[in-house]
């Protein structure tokens, strides 16, 4: 290189000082004093990167909904400022909450997971994990969505659904939590014993399906099915999955079984099946203790009496703050109890952990505000105007905009694209894709998994929308789909079963769930369907089928390729079955 | 192959750059653009300033990436500088890097490359 080139490419001033000068009086490990400017330089990238991450998840989705509503449905966005504020609250709340989760809650999970098995008996460990399952369910951001949308159910059409969502919310969340707890216990035992997932799926699904059929034959209970099956999708969010996994893997490591590449899988599947069962049992219990007529009667009395008597605690910022604190605090207290009393150890880096815990509570409160005014509002709005594409509805002057068939096709395409885009953008799916690619030695490519899951979710959401519009019975869709899923499970290898069944839970994040729930409820009201639940449950089973099908295609392809190489004449299907 | 021998490379330097998790990619890009031929990256956990800062310590990621690049002595200054700027190391909490001279380096060197030198 020429010296002139060198001079030209080096533009920056150099200065040297001896490190000796800096280390002269640094023997005392005092805290560093930071000036305002330095603190700002530290804090700015820290905040922006975290907020940007959530913006990437929220803004495209919101923009898609708003633009579709404006251009295709020709209906201007209502309450634009409140909506904008709500979405900002969602972004901020999620950013703060996720940071709190990783600096505050996760260290607890890791410490407990590493130390608990060494100091406590297996039974105690399992009990703690079970209680933790309840705690994390309360802390799950999306679970607030279920409670928030309860009031929109029509008591006369679906009395039990109304009753459970309005007067039994605490037992409902408790039951869902208990389901997650049992799932966590079974998942942990599975880690340690190295059980196969397949029989577990068969054993768990059998009672779920029996309960579903039982509820289906009771016309009053039929409306509860959508809620019950949706609860499964709601539970497997950003709090439950990492916390339960970190505990489970810690325990599996302590038992010497943690090295299996599949050890992380399966918990999500269990955690989405058991809550369904729990909610169905709760519904049965409610149906035995109170009759539909009583519910309708008391709901009438309620609406007559309580309207004037609204305390300040029921108003906007306060009710969200109470919900937020109530969501996180029990989990934190329980984790502290385990750490201090059972493990008798202390927190490393106490200041930062406390900061993280405070953040997670604040974030949850802000997110709850955003849930009501941002995601919930935008979803409800889009859902209630959606039928304007194919039928006459009072709120839109120009409806029906298109002929019935064209309008319906547009709505389905809208739902499909919504599901596809939202799923593809989910960071958890990307992570799962990489894991799966490594797990299958590249046979199942990352993009292949991402696309099959996304198409699955998209199909599920489209089916769900179609279910609402044509008021198809949910069970008649779900049961055959699960039957297909089970048959595919039977023919798939263990790896694909693990990946396939977990992929459904991974994709339902804290942004998609409330949005889709709200949209379903809004649409349900607009086309006067009995209830707007069920979309999420369909969005859970379809990706399972998609991934399992993809897995079987890959298996068969591999067999064919091998057979051609060996110029053997064995029937590929026979080989596949034998290997299983 | 009957005869095996080692060709030593001299005048080589090692640049080690420790940055926050996730910023290795841009540092790597800068190193390659300014002439580095390859790099090794591994994950690590850092400590020090994070504890001394108190609550502000949360702004610094505990997870680090270490990028190691072997460069020729001639290139070293330019690559070093490019990596420094790409990693924003002139901002607080971003990382640290150092340059060390290497006694000798050995790897596979294609015959054609050696012939072309002479």
- Predicted confidence at residue A580, as pLDDT, reads 36
Q: 């989405």: which residue's tokens?
A: A272
Q: Do A29 and B52 touch (CB under 8 A)?
A: yes
Give the closest residue to A468 by CA, choosing from A234, A230, A283: A230
Chain A residue with Cα closest to B77 = A10
Tokens of A474: 């949910």
* pTM > 0.90: no
Chain B residues contacting A via beta carbons under 8 Å: 34, 49, 51-60, 74, 77-78, 81, 85, 91-93
* Cα radius of gyration rounded to whole Å, chain A: 26
Least confident range from A18-22, A239-243, B108-112: namely: A239-243
- Predicted confidence at residue B83, as pLDDT, reads 94
* Cα radius of gyration rounded to whole Å, chain B: 17
Question: Is residue A35 predicted with pLDDT exceeding 90?
Answer: no
- Predicted confidence at residue A487, as pLDDT, reads 92
**Mutate: best of A3, A37, A43, A45, partner B, most B CBs <10 A:** A45
Residue A96 lies in a domain: yes
What is the percentage of chain B residues whose pLDDT exceeds 70? 97
Q: Do B55 and A356 touch (CB under 8 A)?
A: no
Q: Is pLDDT larger for residue B16 or for residue A521?
A: B16
d(CA A433, CA A450): 6
- pLDDT (tens digit, 9 = 90+) per residue, A134-184? 888 888 777 776 766 666 677 777 788 888 887 788 888 889 889 989 988
CA dihedral A226, A229, A232, A235 (to 10 degrees): 20
CA-CA-CA-CA torsion sign (A315, A318, A324, A329)? negative
User: With contacts defined as CB-CB under 8 Å, which chain A residues touch B53?
Assistant: 31-32, 34, 42
ipTM of the complex: 0.73
Could you please report the per-residue DSSP string of chain B? ------PEE-SEEEEEEEEETT-HHHHHHHHHHTT----EEEEEE--SHHHHTGGGGGGS-SEEEEEEEEEEHHHHHHHHHHHHHHTTTTSTTSEEEEEEEES-EE----HHHHHHH-
Question: Is residue A26 predicted with pLDDT exceeding 80?
Answer: no
> Does A405 reach chain B within 8 Å, measured CB to CB?
no
Q: CB-based contacts of A44: which residues, under 8 Å, 6+ apart?
A: none
Question: Is residue A391 predicted with pLDDT exceeding 80?
Answer: no
Q: Do A31 and B77 touch (CB under 8 A)?
A: no
Structurally, chain A folds into a number of domains equal to 1
d(CA A72, CA A398): 11
Chain A residue with Cα closest to B35 = A1
Chain B residue with Cα closest to A2 = B74
Cα of B106 to nearest chain A Cα, Å: 23
Q: CB-based contacts of A178: which residues, under 8 Å, 6+ apart?
A: A133, A134, A278
d(CA A162, CA A290): 13
What is the percentage of chain A residues whose pLDDT exceeds 70? 85
Q: In the CATH scheme, what is the code of domain B10-103?
A: 3.30.70.120
A493 touches A580 (CB < 8 A): yes
Q: CB-based contacts of A129: which residues, under 8 Å, 6+ apart?
A: A181, A184, A185, A188, A244, A247, A248, A251
> Does A451 reach chain B within 8 Å, measured CB to CB?
no
CA distances from A235 to A42, A106, A146, A450, A567 (A): 35, 18, 11, 21, 49
Cα of A99 to nearest chain B Cα, Å: 10
Q: Do B74 and A39 touch (CB under 8 A)?
A: no
Nearest to B91 among A10, A41, A352 (CB): A41
Residue A74 lies in a domain: yes
> Does A578 reach chain B within 8 Å, measured CB to CB?
no
- Predicted confidence at residue A574, as pLDDT, reads 41
CA-CA-CA-CA torsion sign (A40, A42, A46, A48)? positive
Tokens of B20: 């926050």
Q: What is the DSSP letter of A12?
A: S
- pLDDT (tens digit, 9 = 90+) per residue, B31-41? 999 989 889 99
Count of beta carbons in the 10 Å neighbourhood of residue B60: 20
Residue A312 lies in a domain: no
Q: Do A32 and B55 touch (CB under 8 A)?
A: no
Q: 């201090």: which residue's tokens?
A: A340
User: With contacts defined as CB-CB under 8 Å, which chain A residues touch B92?
Assistant: 38, 41-42
Cα of A1 to nearest chain B Cα, Å: 8
> Does A19 reach chain B within 8 Å, measured CB to CB?
no
Residue A8 lies in a domain: no
Q: What is the mean pLDDT of chain B?
A: 87
Question: Is residue A575 predicted with pLDDT exceeding 50?
Answer: no
Question: Is residue A452 helix, strand or coil?
Answer: helix
Q: What is the mean pLDDT of chain A?
A: 79
> Does A303 reach chain B within 8 Å, measured CB to CB?
no
- Predicted confidence at residue A576, as pLDDT, reads 40
Question: Is residue A260 predicted with pLDDT exceeding 80?
Answer: no
How many CB pairs below 8 A link A and B? 48
Residue A139 lies in a domain: yes
d(CA A358, CA A223): 39
- pLDDT (tens digit, 9 = 90+) per residue, A276-326? 999 999 988 888 887 777 777 777 776 655 444 455 556 667 777 887 887
pLDDT range class, residue B47, cuts 50, 70, 90: confident
pLDDT range class, residue B117, cuts 50, 70, 90: confident
Residue A444's domain spans which residues?
50-298+317-579
Q: 């519910």: which residue's tokens?
A: A295
| Per-residue exposure over A367-390, b if at least 16 CB sit within 10 Å of its own CB, e if not | bbbbbbbbbbbbbbbbbbbbbbbb
- pLDDT (tens digit, 9 = 90+) per residue, A358-390? 898 898 888 888 888 888 888 888 888 888 887
CA-CA-CA-CA torsion sign (B6, B9, B10, B15)? negative
- Predicted confidence at residue A566, as pLDDT, reads 55
User: With contacts defined as CB-CB under 8 Å, which chain B residues touch A431?
Assistant: none
Chain A residue with Cα closest to B92 = A42
- Predicted confidence at residue A387, as pLDDT, reads 82
Count of beta carbons in the 10 Å neighbourhood of residue A313: 9
Q: CB-based contacts of A224: which residues, under 8 Å, 6+ apart?
A: A158, A160, A161, A164, A215, A279, A280, A283
Tokens of A347: 């927190």
Q: What is the mean pLDDT of residues A512-530?
A: 81
Q: Which residues pair with A64 in a beta bridge?
A: none
What is the percentage of chain A residues whose pLDDT exceeds 90? 6
Q: What is the mean pLDDT of residues B15-33?
A: 91
Q: Do A1 and B74 touch (CB under 8 A)?
A: yes
């Amino acid at each position: 290189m020429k010296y002139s080139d060198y001079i030209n490419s080096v533009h920056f001033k150099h200065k040297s000082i001896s490190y000796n000068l800096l280390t002269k009086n640094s023997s005392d490990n005092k805290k560093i004093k930071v000036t305002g400017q330095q603190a700002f330089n530290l804090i700015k990238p820290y905040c922006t990167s975290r907020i940007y991450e959530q913006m990437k998840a929220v803004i495209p989705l919101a923009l898609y909904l708003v633009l579709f509503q404006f251009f295709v449905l020709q209906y201007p966005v209502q309450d634009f400022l409140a909506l904008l504020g709500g979405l900002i609250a969602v972004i901020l709340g999620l950013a703060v909450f996720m940071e709190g989760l990783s600096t505050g809650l996760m260290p607890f999970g890791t410490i407990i997971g590493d130390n608990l098995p060494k100091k406590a008996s297996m039974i105690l460990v399992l009990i703690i994990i079970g209680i933790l399952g309840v705690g994390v369910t309360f802390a799950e951001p999306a679970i607030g969505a279920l409670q928030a949308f309860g009031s929109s159910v029509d008591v006369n059409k679906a009395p039990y659904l109304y009753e459970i969502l309005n007067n039994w919310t605490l037992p409902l969340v408790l039951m869902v939590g208990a389901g997650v707890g049992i799932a966590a216990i079974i998942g942990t035992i599975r880690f340690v014993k190295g059980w196969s997932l397949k029989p577990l799926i068969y054993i768990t699904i059998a009672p779920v399906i029996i309960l579903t059929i039982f509820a289906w034959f009771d016309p009053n209970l039929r409306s509860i099915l959508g809620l019950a099956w949706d609860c499964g999708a709601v539970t497997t969010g950003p709090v439950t999955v990492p916390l339960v996994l970190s505990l489970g893997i810690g325990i599996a490591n302590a038992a010497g079984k943690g090295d299996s590449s599949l050890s992380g899988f399966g918990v999500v599947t269990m955690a989405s099946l058991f809550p369904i069962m729990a909610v169905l049992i709760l519904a049965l219990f409610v149906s035995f203790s109170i009759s539909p007529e009583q519910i309708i009667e008391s709901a009438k009395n309620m609406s007559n009496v309580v309207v004037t008597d609204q305390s300040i605690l029921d108003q906007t910022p306060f009710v969200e703050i109470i919900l937020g604190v109530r969501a996180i605090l029990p989990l934190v207290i329980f984790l502290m109890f385990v750490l201090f009393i059972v493990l008798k150890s202390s927190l490393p880096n106490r200041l930062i952990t406390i900061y993280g815990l405070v953040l997670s509570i604040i974030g949850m409160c802000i997110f709850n505000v955003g849930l009501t005014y941002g995601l919930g509002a935008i979803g409800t709005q889009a859902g209630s105007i959606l039928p304007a594409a194919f039928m006459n509805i009072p709120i839109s002057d120009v409806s029906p905009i298109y002929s019935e068939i064209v309008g319906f096709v547009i709505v389905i395409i809208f739902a499909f694209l919504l599901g596809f885009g939202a799923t593809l953008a989910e960071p958890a799916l990307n992570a799962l894709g990489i894991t799966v690619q490594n797990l299958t030695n590249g046979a199942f490519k990352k993009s292949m998994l991402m696309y099959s899951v996304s198409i699955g979710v998209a199909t599920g959401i489209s089916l769900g929308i179609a279910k609402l519009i044509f008021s198809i019975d949910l069970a008649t869709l779900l049961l055959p789909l699960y039957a297909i899923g089970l048959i595919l499970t039977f023919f798939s290898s263990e790896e694909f079963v693990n990946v396939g069944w977990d992929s459904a839970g991974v994709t339902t994040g804290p942004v998609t769930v409330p949005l889709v729930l709200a949209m379903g409820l809004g649409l349900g009201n607009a086309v006067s369907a009995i209830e707007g639940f069920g979309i999420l449950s369909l969005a859970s089973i379809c990706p399972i089928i998609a991934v399992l099908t993809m897995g079987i295609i890959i298996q068969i392809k591999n067999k064919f390729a091998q057979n051609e190489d060996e110029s053997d004449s064995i029937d590929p299907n026979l080989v596949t079955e034998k290997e299983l | 192959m009957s005869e095996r021998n080692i060709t030593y490379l001299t005048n080589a330097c090692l640049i080690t750059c420790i940055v926050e998790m996730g910023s290795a990619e841009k540092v790597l890009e800068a190193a390659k653009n300014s002439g580095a031929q390859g790099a090794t990256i591994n994950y690590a956990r850092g400590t020090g300033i994070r504890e001394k800062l108190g609550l502000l310590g949360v702004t610094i990621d505990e997870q680090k990436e270490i990028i190691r690049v072997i460069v020729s002595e001639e290139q070293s200054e330019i690559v070093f500088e490019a990596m420094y700027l790409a990693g924003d190391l002139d901002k607080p909490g971003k990382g640290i890097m150092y340059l060390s001279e290497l006694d000798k380096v050995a790897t596979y060197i294609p015959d054609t490359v050696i012939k072309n030198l002479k």
